[in-house]
Structure 1
Amino acid sequence: MTHFIFVTGGVVSSLGKGIAAASLGAILEARGLKVTMMKLDPYINVDPGTMSPFQHGEVFVTDDGAETDLDLGHYERFIRMTASRRNSVSAGRVYKTVIERERAGEYHGNTVQVIPHITNEIKDRIYGVAQGADIALIEIGGTVGDIESLPFLEAIRQIRTEVGPRRSLFMHLTLVPFLRASGELKTKPTQHSVKELRSIGIQPDILICRTEEPIPQEECRKIALFTSVVEEAVISCVDSDSIYKIPGILHSQGLDRIVLEHFNMQAKEADLSEWDQVLENITSADKVANVMIVGKYTELTDTYKSINEALFHAGIQTKTEIKLHYVEASSLETMDDTALAATFAGMDAVLIPGGFGERGIEGKIRAIQYIREHKIPFLGLCLGMQLAVVEYARNVLGLTGANTSEVDPTVAYPVIQMLDPQRDKETDEFRGYMTVGAQPSTVLKDTKVFAAYGRTDVSERHRHRYGVNLDYADQLQDGNLIISGRTNDRNLIEFIELKEHPWFVGTQAHPEFKSTPRDGHPLFIAFINAANAQKAARTEA
């Protein structure tokens, strides 16, 4: 029977509920338990796909094509799960489902209310995702006290009543601020946060206290007294320089033991050797790689969360310290050649990520030209790959003015164009022009991409409307540019690379979504190896 852990947060948002929940999941998984995770978001948007990256950060994509909250990326990076659309639910999606059922007459004319109809829908989704798991970790977005969170909190309160206290556990993440002026830790925000939670009928079983400084035992005792939580279940989570230390920090305080004792469950001792190896590789890094990201959302690095993590994962696997340098793409458009050269000076590799819209396009194209001509290792993702094709068409093949029809619908040489509409396999309806989710492809042997993956069959996740215009495929392959991979179902161009270049690869996919700290991702590992080779050659010269 599945046991439920409900993770809530208080005081302020963005405290790290997703990291804390995923870290606990990693420890329980290391004990041999089957763990699944779910994110319940209180916003009314149906999904994050149409939300501004400046507000919401990255849109994470699952194999089955769901556009989800970035916390699902943390879940996949910490535990061996493949998330699906069932693992991420917003209030908007819940309300939309209930309203559609009401319009279809499924409630037989009864008054439709938050309780029981909205809460029942939430509970059904929680029970559905938990099937087959030993432990289901359910994270509630936002903070206690948010009006929009109330239906979710009421739903998990009801589940506690339905399954009983020995199959459900409430874990509350809260802030214990450190006031440097007075040199004091303050427990009052935690007390008020728990008071707010208890006012709606939820008594936390475990408190995870996020703090800058270790919490003295006396303060833990005080928190326990005022919140009615057992003292040993007041867990101190001190800020760390790596999120991958968190499983070890929580395990050292017995969090997993407390959880299992609460559930009266037996499990083997946690084997955290893989996480120990991750940390060992981080501390023993003997190389440094300077990697530039030329993007349009550089003010908020969470927009590129999975890319950043994939680069760090590759650093872990190659024992390389990764130093990231963000450049706003549009700033490159007006630079003179001297300033441009100074911008790229000292860079060992450059990555150009995906994106939508016209802003910064010409800056990215100019960056790609410089990268190609100066033999700097390059990885282009989605739009980054498309603009590599545009740059090559313009400056090598002589197709003056070549562009993507996303920017110029009347362009004379539309080397990038909108793809045909896709049919949704679940609903048998057309999904507009967006390709989202896993796409199997075949890679050519004797290519840089094959050398990275070590196989010809590859499956990566996608999120795009545009792709390389197949009418130009033969013209693009002039002997230097190689189409090194195509999708299996539609023969679309998945990978391109330059033969006469140390390492220049573009992919229509988003391989960053499948990278993990314990395994890395072959394409990013090859990219960082190329960066290290570039630096070594420059140092020798």
Structure 2
Amino acid sequence: MTRFIFITGGVVSSLGKGLASAALAACLQARGYKVRMRKLDPYLNVDPGTMSPTQHGEVYVTDDGAETDLDLGHYERFTGVSSRRSDNVTAGRIYKTVLEKERRGDYLGGTVQVIPHVTDQIKTFVLSDLTDEDFCLCEIGGTVGDIESLPFLEAIRQLNNELGRERAMVIHVTLLPYIPTAGELKTKPTQHSVKELLSVGIQPDILMCRSDRPIPEGERRKIALFCNVNEKNVIAALDASSIYAVPIDYHAQGLDTQVCKHFHLPYEKAPDLSRWHTILERVTKPEGEVTIGVVGKYTSLLDSYKSLSEALTHGGIANNVKVKLEWIDAEQLEKENPATVLGGVDGIMVPGGFGERGSEGKIRAATFARENNVPYFGICFGMQMAVIECARNLAGLPKASSSEFGPSETPLVGLMTEWLRGNELVKRSASGDLGGTMRLGAYECHLEEGSRVRQIYGTEVIRERHRHRYEVNVHYKDQLEATGLRFSGLSPDGLLPEIVEYKDHPWFIGVQFHPELKSKPFDPHPLFTSFITAALTKSRLV
């Protein structure tokens, strides 16, 4: 019997509902329960695939090829449970499904309405694709009061009634702001937020109150009284020293205990949070430090690289060092001497991206790393720019470019028009839709014997997640390999370059996939672990 926990947010956005949900799931896992996590997003995009990273943050890709909200990255990093397409839905996808049913005549000529048709579709999504999970945690995006979220709130109100208290509960994440002139925390925003939730028929069972300081007992009692919740169910969600301290902190505040009490489950035995204590020990008491320069084009919103920054942290955890990130706008390298900007870093990371803007800066970063023996890690677009750099400066192809930037005499990187997914041939065209048309999800890659990546992974075949529309042209392979650049990872049919590396460089690897999406604090990705090891070696040589 799966129990459902619905997590809503109030007062302001960016309170950390996703992190709170993931931390609670980690606590429940530590008690021996099997969990699944889901995100319900109220925006009208079918998925976040076409949304700007500087507005929405990164797009997280699942093994089965879904482009999803970045919170699913939190879910995977905290629980280790692989997300699926069925774990993220948007209002756009819900309405699209309802309208497709209407066009087919599935509603038998009836008037299609938000209630019951849209809300029924939301409920179907929440309840589907579950097997033996003990808990399913469903986070509702946005803030209570947003007009877009009303159908989702109505759907969980109905589910609360249909499932009953023994199978459903609502956790509301809210804000307790501190007013310096008054010298106290203010509970009124929380009261108004809960009142807004009550106006749509939902009584929260637990309040998670975000605050930068402990909540006095008087305020806690006041919140419980005015919001009609048990005083022990007013949980202080305090700012943490590290996000990996949050499961420990929330357990100390009694969150998972109160959840177990609500569902009449055993709660006396404490959860086994030992792995989180180990992780926190390494994060807070490192034995050294390395500096990684991240050369990107979406640095105005660091959530654009959320999984990347976390994976670098995981590489630091594996090496017991602190990873300091220097965010460098790729366009800056087009104007300044790379040595001035990158001279003090121990490693250079060039992440994925789209479009020509900043591409020359990324190419110059690759040149600097190659010529100065600085560890270089290029991901997706970062790999493509490293290959173009090699073609221009070593292989005698000065016009080498990507067809993504327009017509080229030497289209070293070109648009993929077809590829194999298992036994299925997938086809795309340049004039097709942008949404959901890339090479998405987990694909096999075969690693060359004797290569650095084969040594790092310790296996011949890997499966990594992709999200790209352009690919390095394998027809240039021999010409590029003559310069010392090795194509050390290829698709099973040998047609799609997946990994390149330099034989005579301390650590220079480019990958077409996104390894950051599979890294976890308790299971760091081997490429990030090895990259930070190389950066640490360089820092000790300086």
| Cα 1:431–1:107 shift into 2, 3 Å | farther
- Structure 1 distance, partners of 2:131, 2:176, is 35
CA displacement 1:464-498 (0-9 Å, x = unmatched) = 01111011111111162111111225541111000
- Structure 2 distance, partners of 1:359, 1:421, is 26
Partner of 1:75: 75
Give, in angstroms, the shift of residue 425 of structure 1: 7.7
Q: Which of 499, 502, 506 matches 1:502? A: 506
| Cα 1:47–1:522 shift into 2, 3 Å | same
CA displacement 1:167-210 (0-9 Å, x = unmatched) = 10110000000112332111100000001101111000000000
Partner of 1:387: 385
- Structure 1 distance, partners of 2:509, 2:421, is 30
Partner of 2:404: 406
Partner of 1:327: 328
Q: Which of 491, 496, 500 matches 1:492? A: 496
CA RMSD of aligned residues (A): 1.5
Q: Which of 372, 375, 379 matches 1:377? A: 375
| Cα 1:431–1:32 shift into 2, 3 Å | farther
Aligned-partner SS, 2:128: helix
Give the stretch that moved more between structures: 308-317 or 424-433. Answer: 424-433
Partner of 2:432: none
Partner of 1:349: 347
Partner of 2:291: 290
Counterpart of 1:258 in structure 2: which amino acid? Q
Checking the alignment, whether the CA contact within 8 Å between 1:423 and 1:431 is kept in structure 2 is: no
Give, in angstroms, the shift of residue 106 of structure 1: 0.6
| Cα 1:429–1:467 shift into 2, 3 Å | closer
Checking the alignment, whether the CA contact within 8 Å between 2:39 and 2:88 is kept in structure 1 is: yes
Give, in angstroms, the shift of residue 273 of structure 1: 0.7
Structure 1 segment 89-128 matched on structure 2, within 5 A:
89-128=89-128
2:416 matches 1:419: yes
Q: Percent identity?
A: 54
CA displacement 1:99-156 (0-9 Å, x = unmatched) = 0110011111000000000000000000004432110000000011111101000000
Structure 1 segment 3-402 matched on structure 2, within 5 A:
3-266=3-266, 269-335=270-336, 339-402=337-400
Checking the alignment, whether the CA contact within 8 Å between 1:461 and 1:509 is kept in structure 2 is: yes
Aligned-partner SS, 2:405: coil
| Cα 1:428–1:132 shift into 2, 3 Å | farther
CA displacement 1:260-283 (0-9 Å, x = unmatched) = 111112376411111111011112
Checking the alignment, whether the CA contact within 8 Å between 2:338 and 2:364 is kept in structure 1 is: no
Give the stretch that moved more between structures: 262-271 or 149-158. Answer: 262-271
Partner of 2:539: 535
Checking the alignment, whether the CA contact within 8 Å between 1:61 and 1:461 is kept in structure 2 is: yes
CA displacement 1:215-273 (0-9 Å, x = unmatched) = 11111111001001100010001111211111001101221111111111237641111
| Cα 1:420–1:477 shift into 2, 3 Å | same
Checking the alignment, whether the CA contact within 8 Å between 2:2 and 2:136 is kept in structure 1 is: yes
- Structure 1 distance, partners of 2:193, 2:422, is 44
| Cα 1:85–1:425 shift into 2, 3 Å | farther
- Structure 2 distance, partners of 1:153, 1:401, is 55
- Structure 2 distance, partners of 1:167, 1:531, is 49
Structure 1 segment 464-475 matched on structure 2, within 5 A:
464-475=468-479
Give, in angstroms, the shift of residue 404 of structure 1: 1.1
Checking the alignment, whether the CA contact within 8 Å between 2:144 and 2:197 is kept in structure 1 is: yes
Runs of 5+ consecutive residues of structure 2 not aligned to the other structure: 430-436
Partner of 1:521: 525
Aligned-partner SS, 1:333: helix
- Structure 2 distance, partners of 1:233, 1:93, is 34
- Structure 1 distance, partners of 2:106, 2:422, is 25
- Structure 2 distance, partners of 1:194, 1:388, is 52
- Structure 2 distance, partners of 1:498, 1:424, is 29
Checking the alignment, whether the CA contact within 8 Å between 1:421 and 1:434 is kept in structure 2 is: no
- Structure 2 distance, partners of 1:489, 1:9, is 48
Q: Which of 452, 459, 463 matches 2:456? A: 452
Give, in angstroms, the shift of residue 302 of structure 1: 0.4
- Structure 1 distance, partners of 2:256, 2:284, is 26
Give the stretch that moved more between structures: 429-438 or 237-246. Answer: 429-438
Checking the alignment, whether the CA contact within 8 Å between 1:424 and 1:430 is kept in structure 2 is: no
- Structure 2 distance, partners of 1:427, 1:104, is 27
CA displacement 1:51-101 (0-9 Å, x = unmatched) = 111110100000000000000000000012110110000000000000011
Runs of 5+ consecutive residues of structure 1 not aligned to the other structure: none
Checking the alignment, whether the CA contact within 8 Å between 1:442 and 1:457 is kept in structure 2 is: yes
- Structure 2 distance, partners of 1:276, 1:129, is 33
Checking the alignment, whether the CA contact within 8 Å between 1:61 and 1:67 is kept in structure 2 is: yes
Aligned-partner SS, 2:487: strand
Checking the alignment, whether the CA contact within 8 Å between 1:462 and 1:510 is kept in structure 2 is: yes
CA displacement 1:303-322 (0-9 Å, x = unmatched) = 00000000011111111111
Checking the alignment, whether the CA contact within 8 Å between 1:422 and 1:434 is kept in structure 2 is: no
- Structure 2 distance, partners of 1:200, 1:129, is 28
Counterpart of 1:523 in structure 2: which amino acid? L
Give the stretch that moved more between structures: 305-314 or 257-266. Answer: 257-266
**Alignment size in residue pairs:** 534
Counterpart of 1:226 in structure 2: which amino acid? F
CA displacement 1:434-466 (0-9 Å, x = unmatched) = 100001111123222122212111111000011
- Structure 2 distance, partners of 1:364, 1:451, is 27
Aligned-partner SS, 1:247: helix
Partner of 2:439: 435
CA displacement 1:10-57 (0-9 Å, x = unmatched) = 000110000001000000011111100000000000000001111101
Counterpart of 1:465 in structure 2: which amino acid? R
- Structure 2 distance, partners of 1:427, 1:110, is 38
Aligned-partner SS, 2:418: coil
| Cα 1:303–1:120 shift into 2, 3 Å | same
Query: Where do 4+ consecutive residues of structure 1 move more than 6 Å?
Result: 423-429
Counterpart of 1:274 in structure 2: which amino acid? R
- Structure 1 distance, partners of 2:329, 2:245, is 31
What TM-score results when the alignment is normalised by the length of structure 1?
0.96
CA displacement 1:351-398 (0-9 Å, x = unmatched) = 000111110111111111111101100000000001100000000111
Aligned-partner SS, 1:533: helix
Checking the alignment, whether the CA contact within 8 Å between 1:291 and 1:347 is kept in structure 2 is: yes
